[in-house]
A and B are shown apart, each in its own frame.
Chain A
Amino acid sequence: MSERSALSETGSTVAPAPDLTPGRGTTSHARDIGKGFLVKLILVMLVDALGVYGIITAFGIGHWPIVISLVVGLVVVNWVYFSRRMVPLKYLLGGLIFLLVYQVFVMAYTGYVAFTNYGTGHMLTKEQAIERLQEYNQVRVPDSPTYPLTVLQRDGEIYFGIVDEGKALVGSAEQPLEEVSGAEVVQAGETTQRIASAPGFETIDFAGLLNLDQDISTIRVPWSSDPTSGSLSTDFGANGFRNQPALTYDADEDTMTHVETGVIYYADDNGSFTAADGTTLTPGWRVSVGFDNFKRMITEERLSGPFFTAATWTFAFAFLSVATTFALGLFIAITFNDERVRGRKIYRSLLILPYAFPGFLSALIWAGMLNRSYGFINQTLLGGAYIDWLGDPWLAKIAIIGVNLWLGFPYMFLITTGALQSIPSDINEAARIDGAGPFRVFRSLTLPLLLVSVTPLLIASFAFNFNNFSLIYMLTKGGPVYVGNEYGLGSTDILISTVYKIAIEGGGAKDYGLASAMSIIIFLVVGLVSYIGFRRTRSLEEIN
C-alpha cells in the first residue's frame, strides 16, 4: 500500500499538472506528459534508433527485403504508439512483430524455399553468382605489362603496391587498389617505377618475403571495386601482372564465355551455366524449380526409399508412443485410484520423476545405459550380454519405444488420474449392482468416459511425438545408418530428423529446398492432426 502511494506521489511531481477528470485519460493519454509517456517515448526512440541503424546497414549491403520490412515496421510502431485510437494494438504489437517475423514469416519462407533449388552450390542470387564466377576465375592478360611490385604490410595484412600511369596504387585482397598520397616512388627501369615506401605501411624486402606465413602467389588484389576489371597478382613478389576474368558475361545472350577456350556456357533452368558438353560452372544460383523437390522425394530412388520408411516409422513411432504410454499410465492410475492404498502421494512423486527430469538428459543417459559394449543394461542386468540395442534396425526401434515409454508414462498417469477423478463413482456402483464385473465396468464405462476427456491430449501427444526430434537424435541419431546414403539417413530417422540431416548436418551437400519440401509435408500432417484435436476441444467456442 505504501509502495503504491509513494509511486503516485513521485508520479505527480514529475507530471506538471495531471488532469484527473474522469474520461480525460481515455481520450488523450498521449498528451499527458507523465512518467508513462516518458517511458514510452524513450522506448520508441530506442526502437527507432535501432531501426534506422538497421535500415542504413541493410541499405549499404543492398538487402532490400530487410530495408522494406524495417521501414514498414518503424512506421507502424510509431503510428501505433503515438496514435490515440490504437489502444488494443499497443498491447498486441510487440508480440505480433515477433510472431510475424519468427513464426509466420519463417513458415511462409519454408514454403518459398521448398519450391527452389536453394542449397549447396545454389546459395546466391544470379547477380552474385556471376560476380563470384568472374572473381574466382581469372587468367593473366596476354602480353600485358608487368609492374615492379612492392609488398607492404599493415596490421598483419599483406598489401601490394604498384605505380601505374604515374599514380601510386596500394590494395589488398580485401581492398581494391587505391591511390595513396605521400608514397615515395623510385625509378625501377627505363620506363617503370615502383613504390619504395608508403606512409602507414611497412615495406617488406625480399628477405622478409621468405619469412611470410602467407603464400603471396595466391593473393589477388582487385583492380577496382568492379569485379570485371580484373586483379593484380604476383609470382614471387618482384613483379606484378594484371589478370582479367576468365569468363565474360553477355547479358543479352545470358551466356558466360571462357576467354581462352572460347567455350560458351548457357544459363539453364536449374540455375547454372552449362556448356554444350554438359560441364557446369559452380557456383550456380537459386531458381524456382516448381514441384521438383516433391517429385524427387517420390521418384529418386536414393531419396524415396529412406523417405517412405521414415514416414512409416514416424507414424508407427508416434502411434506406439501414445498407445504404450497411455496403457501404462492408465494402468497405474487405476491401480492407485483406490483410497485405501497408503502412501499414494509418495508413490506419485517418485513416479513422476521421469517426467520432471529434462527429457534431453534422460535420452542421453539411456543411450549410455544401452551402449552395446559397456552399457549397464548389457553388462549388469543381462550379465555381460552383447546385444546391439542401438545398432540393429529393429532393436533400435524397440529401444526407442521403450525409452519413450519411460519418458512418457508419468504424463499419462497424471492426466488419466485427473480424468478418473471426474468420473462419478455412482455410475460404477450402479453397473456393479446390475451385475457387471470389474473388467466389464472398465471396458464399457470407465474407458469410454475417460477417452472423452483425454482424447484431445492424446492427439496433442501424438503430434508431439511425431516431431520428437531430441529423443531420436540423442538416442540413436537416426542410426543405424543406411550404407552409402549421401545424407547419412538411417533406419530410425523420423521425418523431422531426416529434414535436419538433409538441411543442416548431412554427409556432404546441404539441400535446403528438399528439406523445406519435407517440412511442408510434416506441416500438413501435424496441422491435420492438430485440427482434429482442435475440433475435439472446441476451443473456438471460447472465443466470444
Chain B
Amino acid sequence: MAFQTSAPDTVQYRDTRPKGQLWWRQIGWRHVVAVALIIYAVFPLIFALSTSLNPGGSISGSSKLFQNVDLANFKKLFAETDFPSWAMNSIIICTVTALGTLLMGASAAYAFSRFRFRGRHGALTSLLIIQMFPQMLAFVAIFLLLLSLGDVFPIIGLNQILGLIAIYLGGSLGSNTFLMYGFFNTIPRELDEAAKLDGCTHAQIFWQIILRLVLPILTVVGLLSFVATYGDFIIAKVVMQANDKFTIAVGLYQWASNPRAVPWSLFAAGAIIAAIPVVILFLFLQKYIVSGLTAGSVKG
C-alpha cells in the first residue's frame, strides 16, 4: 500500500490533462462561472437564513448578514404564532392529497392498461384534452361551487380542509394518469394472467401484485403531488379564509405582505422551516424528480 501511494502518477501514466494557460482557457473559466452562478443561486437563501437567525429583526435590520445569531425566532414561531397549525394543515392536506392521488391514479392506470373496454380510447383522449386546461383557471367557479356545497355538506365547503383536498383530488386524474399508465404498460401482462389462472380476482391482482411492482412510479407521483400541493397558492387562498385554516403558503404570504405587523425575521424563520422538508426530499430524490420532469411535469 505504502509503495503504491508513494509512486507518482506521472511515472506510470502520461498526464493528458491540459496545464497552465490551456487549462485555464478550456476548463478553468468554467469554475469561475460556477462560483459566480452559485453565489447568484444560493445568495437569497443565505439571506433568508441570516434574517431568520436575527432576533427581532425587522426588514430594515436585515441588511448585514449574520450580525446576530440566535434561535429566538424559531422558538417564537412555534410558541406564539399560528405557524404550527398552518404547518399541520399543509402536512395533512398534502399527505391526504398525495395518497388519494396515488390511489385514484393507480386504479385508473390499471384499468386503462389491463382492461379493454368500450370507450377506453375515448376516455384516454378526453383525459389528455382535460389535462390541457389547468384547474386553477376555474377558481371562480370552484369558489362558487364550494359556496353551494357548503350549504349541504359544510365539511367540504369553503374554509374546510376536506373541501380543499377534494379540489386537489379533482385535478389528480388528469395530470397523473399518463405518467402511471406508461409505467403500468411496462409490467408484463403474463404476470396477471398467471395469477388469474391461480384463481386471483382482479382486486387481488391489483392490490397484491401490480401495486408492488409499480412502487417506483408511485413514489415519484406521490412526491410530485405532495410538492405541487404544498406549493399551491391560488386555490388555497381562495378556499381558506380563517387564520387557523391557512396552509403554509397562504399563512406566510399573509405575514410577508404586511411586514409591519409581523417581524420580517419571524417570516424568514417560517420560510426556512417550510422549505427544509421540500429541499431535503428534492436533493435526496433528485434523479427520480429529474426523470419525472422530463416525462412532462413542469415548474417555473
> With an 8 A cutoff between CB atoms, is B17 at the interface?
yes
Q: Quick check: is B196 within 8 A (CB to CB) of the other chain?
A: yes
Residue positions of A touching B, CB distance < 8 A? 4, 20-22, 24-26, 29, 32, 36, 54, 57-58, 61, 63, 65-66, 87-92, 94-96, 98-99, 101-107, 109-110, 113, 118, 321, 325, 332, 335-336, 338, 340-341, 343, 347, 349-362, 364-369, 371, 373-376, 379-380, 404, 406-408, 410-411, 414-415, 418, 456-457, 460-461, 463-465, 467-471, 473-474, 477, 496, 499-500, 503-504, 512, 515-516, 519, 522-523, 526-527, 530-531, 534, 537, 539-540, 542-543
Give the chain B neighbours of A362 by CB distance below 8 A. Answer: 44
Q: Which 6 A-B pairs have the closest CB atoms?
A: A102-B170, A95-B104, A356-B282, A374-B60, A91-B111, A530-B132
Partner of B169, one of A92, A98, A531: A98
Expressed in whole angstroms, the minimum distance between the Cβ of A324 and any Cβ of chain B is 12
Bound CA span A353–B43, Å? 10
A106 partner residues in chain B, CB cutoff 8 A: 135, 138, 141-142, 145, 170
Quick check: is B264 within 8 A (CB to CB) of the other chain? yes
In the complex the two chains form, what is the Cα distance from A457 to B294 in whole Å?
Answer: 8
Sample of 23 A–B contacts (CB below 8 Å): A26-B201, A26-B202, A65-B148, A96-B173, A98-B173, A103-B133, A104-B130, A107-B130, A110-B140, A364-B271, A365-B268, A365-B271, A368-B62, A375-B59, A457-B293, A467-B136, A470-B233, A477-B257, A504-B139, A504-B143, A523-B133, A523-B137, A540-B125
In the bound complex, residues from chain A placing their C-beta under 8 Å from that of B40 are: 406
* B75 at interface, CB cutoff 8 A: no
Q: Mark B11-51, 1 if CB is under 8 A from A, else 0.
A: 00000011000000011001101100110111011011001
B residues in contact with A418, CB < 8 Å: 290, 294
**Are A105 and B145 interface neighbours, CB within 8 A?**
yes
Tell me, rounded to whole Å, the shortest Cβ–Cβ distance linking A511 to chain B: 10
Q: What residue in chain A is nearest B31 (Cβ atoms)?
A: A341
13 more contacts with CB within 8 A, not counting A368-B59, A375-B59, are A95-B104, A96-B108, A102-B171, A336-B30, A341-B34, A343-B34, A355-B300, A359-B299, A368-B51, A474-B256, A474-B257, A515-B140, A539-B128
Residues in B lying within 8 Å of A, measured CB to CB: 17-18, 26-27, 30-31, 33-34, 37-38, 40-42, 44-45, 47-48, 51, 58-60, 62-64, 103-105, 107-108, 110-111, 115, 117, 120-121, 123-125, 128, 130-145, 148-149, 151-153, 166-167, 169-174, 177-178, 182, 196-204, 206, 208, 227, 230-231, 233-234, 238, 249, 252-253, 256-257, 259, 264, 267-268, 271, 274-275, 278-279, 282-283, 286, 290, 293-294, 296, 298-300
Please name the residue on chain B nearest to A379 by beta carbon: B63
Known interface pairs A36-B203, A361-B271, A365-B48; A102-B133 also in contact (CB < 8 Å):
no
Closest chain B residue to A474, Cβ basis: B253
CB neighbours (8 Å) of B117 from chain A are: 88
| Interface contact A98-B104, CB-CB below 8 Å | yes
Contact among B27, B174, B279 for A340, CB-based, below 8 A: B27
Q: Complex formed: what's the CA distance from A523 to B121 in Å?
A: 24
The complex places the Cα of A467 from the Cα of B139 at a distance, in Å, of 12
Contact B121 A380 (CB under 8 A): no
| A54-B153, A415-B293, A474-B256 as given contacts; A361 in contact with B274, CB under 8 Å | yes
In whole angstroms, what is the CA distance A147 to B107 when docked?
Answer: 68
Contact A95 B148 (CB under 8 A): no
Chain B nearest Cβ from A399, distance in angstroms: 13
**From A106, A350, A354, A469, residue with most partner B Cβ within 10 Å:** A106
Q: Is the CB of B298 within 8 A of A457?
A: yes
Residues of B within 8 A of A354 (CB): 41, 44-45
Query: Which one of A88, A94, A361, A415 lies within 8 Å of B115 (CB-CB)?
Result: A88
Give the CA-CA distance A102 to B264 in the complex, in Å: 37
Query: Are A357's CB and B166's CB within 8 A?
Result: no
Rounded to whole Å, the gap between the CB of A293 and the closest CB of chain B is 12
Complex Cα distance, B192 from A13, in Å, reads 25
A510 → chain B closest CB, angstroms? 9
Specify which of A24, A349, A457, A496 is in contact with B283 (CB 8 Å cutoff): A349
